[in-house]
Amino acid sequence: MINGRVSVHLIFVIVHLLGALVTLLPTGTASKVCRLGYNALCSFTPFGTAVLLALAILHIALYRKELAKA
C-alpha cells in the first residue's frame, strides 16, 4: 500500500495468481486434455499458468520499483 491506497499492481498480482490457480483446476467438460495429462479448465495449462505467473512477477517488480520511488 502506498499512502493508505492499494496499488493497481497489487490488484493485478492477485488477479494473475488467482488466474494461474484456476487454470490448474480439473473439469469434466474440457474439450481437450492438457499437457499435464488431465482435463483441466485451460487446455494450455502448463503454458498459461507460466504466463500468468510471469505477469504476476512482473507486477511485483513494478510495484517494488514504485515503492522505491515513493
**pLDDT-based confidence at residue 18 (cuts at 50, 70, 90):** very high
Say what the pLDDT of residue 27 is: 87
Residue 3 pLDDT > 80, yes or no?
A: no
Between these two residues, 30 and 58, which has the higher pLDDT value? Answer: 58
As given in the structure block, the three cell numbers for residue 43 are: 487446455
As given in the structure block, the three cell numbers for residue 21 are: 490457480
Pair 66, 8: CB distance under 8 Å: no
The number of angstroms, rounded, from the C-alpha of 53 to the middle of its chain's C-alpha atoms is: 5
Pair 52, 23: CB distance under 8 Å: yes
